[in-house]
Amino acid sequence: MELNYGASRQQPRQDAAMQRFREHRFGQFVHWGLYAMPAGYWQGTEYRFAAEFLQKTANIPEPEWAELAQQFSAEAFDADAWAALAARSGVKYATFTTKHHDGFCLWPSQYTDFHSGNTPAARDFIGELVAAYQRHGIDVYLYYSVLDWHHPDWRYRLESAEDQQAFKRYLDFAMNQLVELAQRYPSVKGFWFDGTWDESVKANGRWTWEVEQRLKELIPGLIVSSRLRADDLGARHRDSNGSLMGDYESGYERRLPDPWDRSVCEQDWEACMTIPQASWGYHAGPWAKRTRKSAAELIDMIAHCTSLSGNFLLNFGPRGDGSIDPEDAALAEQIGNWLAQNGAAIYGKGVATNWSYPGWGYYTQEADSETVYAVVTKWPTARRLRLQLPAGERLLAATLLREPALQLNPQELETSLFELELGNSSEETLVFELTTAAAEEQSWTEPNPDV
């Protein structure tokens, strides 16, 4: 059907900026703001829900919540320390919350008083982070929540002429803030949008289209997530013809596609994930701490996304004073150590098109390259790894990426089916670089009965 504000392309972008994004594969998400101070607690009660939602879960009146800004001194905030840890963790890009649902801005916006310049900290945190991360060679993306609990003109639904007028004022405010961010921080590589699911936004597909156009005029090559976009009829992420809007699919929030679902490879996509089960902002309570993921689980997710040509955006929620939770720092270092040894299987890699999902881990491959990597994340109890190669291929060798290098000689069980004896390697995520060759011609073709 004819749309004025639907998808602007059918095929993935092939420009250098987009290629750089997809080759990065692993990014850091950072959720930080006023909510990091109460950290899931209010008046002595632990609220077992996402810490960045505390204003709603604890039914805190807006003026009382806004008062938190007068305690926001962030005395331990150190952008360079954040960036140095991010670099050690192996991330190649970072996405920072500039304004979350509570409306508090981490930059001195000229369009509201509710910002970090009007706090005891009196700092432009976004400006400091953009500079520090770029000094460490990490690309920066900016998160912006369209949903805004603070702004008097925000509306969830448009049920009256007054609602329409108010929400028009709100959308003008949001557009002004987005242009302000693009003009203050023109070196950022993209915008990550959130809080666009309400009826009020879905009824304004044209505005979402205009935001994408305006920001890309200001920053050529800019990358915009699909979550910004609604079309003429209110369809989100994909327009009413099923075509992806924005530059990559950003609907995977705390979930990954099935590892065998090759349909997701048709477009660029990114999954975002929390370290605790369900809090993006720092939550100090046992509810969050006991659900923390291990380095092995997160490495599995990085390889999982790479094996389907997607990016993995891992969230860190710094504490209210601006320091990084030591447990998060340790996790970041563990992941970075693994990537330092095995990053060849992740950075710049994607789906190994002709290789089926093996179950014990993931195959990854660089487009137009013969080299395939096997990332073993689920150890077979028999400690023998079976590899079903594409028809007509045979496995010559499997070389461990980790030092000390170890080359395993595969045993051929039958045509294109090989086995590696893993021995008593320690229980960690191993990566093998696979060397393959065309199998000798067979005198007969294998029967394939329709059983």
CB-based contacts of 108: which residues, under 8 Å, 6+ apart? Answer: 115, 116, 117, 118, 124
Number of residues that bind ligand EAT (CB under 6 A): 7
Of 24 and 101, nearer to ligand EAT (C-beta) is 101
- 253, 258, 266, 327: which one binds ligand EAT (CB under 6 A): 253
When CB distances to ligand EAT are compared, the closest residue is 280
- 74, 188, 272, 303: which one binds ligand EAT (CB under 6 A): 272
Rounded to the nearest whole angstrom, what is the least distance from the CB of residue 194 to ligand EAT in the complex? 5
Rounded to the nearest whole angstrom, what is the least distance from the CB of residue 423 to ligand EAT in the complex? 42
Of 103 and 361, nearer to ligand EAT (C-beta) is 103
- 32, 280, 362, 418: which one binds ligand EAT (CB under 6 A): 280
Rounded to the nearest whole angstrom, what is the least distance from the CB of residue 54 to ligand EAT in the complex? 11
Return phi, psi of residue 17, to 5°: -65, -40
Q: What is the dihedral of CA 216, 80, 330, 278, to 10 degrees?
A: -40
Of 181 and 387, nearer to ligand EAT (C-beta) is 181
In three state form, how does the secondary structure of the chain look? CCCCCCCCCCCCCCCHHHHHHHHHCEEEEECCCHHHCCCCEECCEECCCCHHHHHHHCCCCHHHHHHHHHHCCCCCCCHHHHHHHHHHHCCCEEEEEEECCCCCECCCCCCCCCEHHHCCCCCCHHHHHHHHHHHCCCEEEEEEECCCCCCCCCCCCCCCHHHHHHHHHHHHHHHHHHHHHHHHCCCCCEEEEECCCCHHHHCCHHHHHHHHHHHHHHCCCCEEEHHHCECCCCCECECCCCCECCCEEEEEECCCCCCCCHHHHHCCEEEEECCCCCCCCCCCCHHHHCCCCCHHHHHHHHHHHHHCCCEEEEEECCCCCCCCCHHHHHHHHHHHHHHHHHHHHCCCCEECCCCCCCCCEEEEECCCCCCEEEEECCCCCCCEEEEECCCCEEEEEEEECCCCCCEECCEEEECCEEEEECCCCCCCCEEEEEEEEECCCCCCCCCCCCC
50 is a site residue for ligand EAT (CB under 6 A)? yes
Token pair of 114 as six digits: 């509710």
211 is a site residue for ligand EAT (CB under 6 A)? no
Of 278 and 422, nearer to ligand EAT (C-beta) is 278
Report, in angstroms and rounded to the nearest whole number, the Rg of the chain calculated over CA atoms: 24
Of 255 and 290, nearer to ligand EAT (C-beta) is 255
Q: Are the CB atoms for 153 and 176 separated by under 8 Å?
A: no
194 is a site residue for ligand EAT (CB under 6 A)? yes
Rounded to the nearest whole angstrom, what is the least distance from the CB of residue 348 to ligand EAT in the complex? 26
Rounded to the nearest whole angstrom, what is the least distance from the CB of residue 280 to ligand EAT in the complex? 4
Token pair of 235 as six digits: 């369809």
Of 143 and 432, nearer to ligand EAT (C-beta) is 143
69 is a site residue for ligand EAT (CB under 6 A)? no
Of 302 and 345, nearer to ligand EAT (C-beta) is 302
Rounded to the nearest whole angstrom, what is the least distance from the CB of residue 313 to ligand EAT in the complex? 9
Of 278 and 397, nearer to ligand EAT (C-beta) is 278
| β-pair type (223-224, 249-253) | unpaired
Of 21 and 53, nearer to ligand EAT (C-beta) is 53
Of 144 and 363, nearer to ligand EAT (C-beta) is 144
Residue list 13-32, contact with ligand EAT (CB under 6 A):
31
Rounded to the nearest whole angstrom, what is the least distance from the CB of residue 141 to ligand EAT in the complex? 13
Rounded to the nearest whole angstrom, what is the least distance from the CB of residue 18 to ligand EAT in the complex? 21
Per-residue binder mask for ligand EAT (CB under 6 A), 293-332, x = binder: ----------------------------------------
Rounded to the nearest whole angstrom, what is the least distance from the CB of residue 251 to ligand EAT in the complex? 11
Of 31 and 229, nearer to ligand EAT (C-beta) is 31
- 33, 38, 52, 236: which one binds ligand EAT (CB under 6 A): 52
Q: Please give the residue ranges that form the binding site for ligand EAT (CB under 6 A).
A: 31, 50, 52, 194, 253, 272, 280
